[in-house]
């Protein structure tokens, strides 16, 4: 009889041990992401935005986070931002003073940010002038846009820091998706606050097809992705799909996502920004 009681006690204890971990797995999402976009500047950027929203939505299911996106930049305010651990600028930047102050305060108090391609663009004179020194000079460190390659083409990208969480699962070099590559006003490699994560490998040259000679790069050092050591941020130049503007309707030729290693860089960069270890 005593043996039967001991056996019953053991079985009940074992059942409890199995039950509680199963309940813990039902916890809520680990972090929340809010992406802002305009999707108005040009079709190549708009196509990227729609593709990015689909991709991040699928990724959120895989990695267990909440992904929201909006074209209402008025939501870039302190009340909304406190609900999110990571903010993404897909193809633009805020224009109003209130939005810019809210974003700066968010970043200076521990917020995290990921930006793509046109989110860093500024050129005076243009429709997007350099009228935000903190963002372009201090935060990004790049200053104004200087030039770009054309047409959008893939490049061989080189990992500059294999110890950074965004690059640990990548080969030392990989082929990117097609993109329009930017050159910047300021030398990022001489800025002690900037840590360059990806750059264009010399094996990519000549890069671009023109037809204008300045649109074809033959040499030089071009950072593609970097972080600022004073903030939890990650900028990457990818985000311009190739479009056949001569067809009717204009046909999308390339995609930013669907590239194994480039996708992995973006995913691991996002998890790093959210403070989650793989």
Instruction: Please tell me the predicted confidence (pLDDT) of residue 83.
Output: 98
Average of per-residue pLDDT across 246-257: 90
DSSP collapsed to 3 states, the chain: CHHHHHHHHHHHHHHHHHHHHHHHCCCCCCCEEEEECCCCCCHHHHHHHHHHHHHHHHHHHHHCCEEEEECCHHHCCHHHHCCCCEEEECCCCCCCHHHHHHHHHHHHCCCEEEEEHHHHCCCCCCCCCCCCHHHHHHHCCCCCEEEECCCCECCEEEECCCCCCCCCCCCCEEECCCECCEEECCCHHHCCCEEEEEEECHHHCCECCCCCHHHCECCCCCEEEEEECCCEEEEECCCCCCEECCCCCCEECCCCCCCHHHHHHHHHHHHHHCCCCC
pLDDT tens digit sequence for 188-218: 999 999 999 999 999 999 999 999 999 999 9
pLDDT > 50? residue 247: yes
pLDDT tens digit sequence for 90-104: 999 999 999 999 999
Domains and CATH numbers, the chain: 31-273 (3.40.50.880)
Instruction: Please tell me the predicted confidence (pLDDT) of residue 6.
Output: 42
pLDDT > 50? residue 22: no
Mean pLDDT of the chain: 91
- pLDDT-derived band at 248, boundaries 50, 70, 90: confident
> Taking the model in full, what pTM does it have?
0.89
Instruction: Please tell me the predicted confidence (pLDDT) of residue 25.
Output: 42
């Amino acid at each position: 009889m005593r043996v039967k009681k001991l056996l019953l006690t053991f079985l009940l204890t074992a059942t409890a041990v199995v039950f509680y971990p199963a309940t813990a797995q039902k916890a809520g999402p680990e972090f929340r992401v809010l992406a802002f976009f305009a999707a108005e500047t040009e079709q190549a950027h708009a196509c990227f935005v729609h593709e990015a929203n689909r991709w991040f939505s699928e990724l959120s299911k895989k990695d267990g986070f909440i992904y929201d996106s909006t074209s209402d930049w008025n939501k870039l305010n302190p009340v909304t931002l406190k609900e999110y651990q990571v903010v993404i600028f897909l193809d633009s930047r805020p224009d109003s003073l209130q939005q810019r102050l809210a974003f700066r305060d968010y970043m200076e108090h521990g917020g995290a940010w990921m930006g793509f391609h046109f989110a860093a663009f500024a050129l005076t004179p243009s429709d997007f002038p350099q009228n935000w020194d903190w963002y372009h000079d201090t935060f990004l460190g790049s200053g104004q846009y200087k030039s770009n390659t054309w047409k959008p083409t893939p490049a061989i990208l080189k990992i500059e820091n294999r110890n950074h969480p965004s690059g640990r699962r990548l080969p030392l070099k990989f082929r990117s998706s097609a993109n329009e590559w930017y050159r910047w006003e300021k030398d990022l490699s001489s800025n002690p606050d900037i840590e360059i994560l990806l750059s264009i490998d010399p094996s990519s040259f000549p890069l671009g097809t023109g037809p204008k000679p300045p649109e074809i790069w033959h040499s030089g050092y071009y950072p593609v992705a970097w972080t600022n050591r004073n903030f939890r941020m990650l900028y990457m130049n990818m985000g311009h799909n190739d479009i056949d503007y001569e067809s009717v309707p204009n046909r999308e030729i390339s995609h930013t996502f669907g590239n194994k290693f480039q996708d992995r860089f973006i995913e691991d960069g996002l998890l790093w920004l959210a403070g989650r270890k793989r």
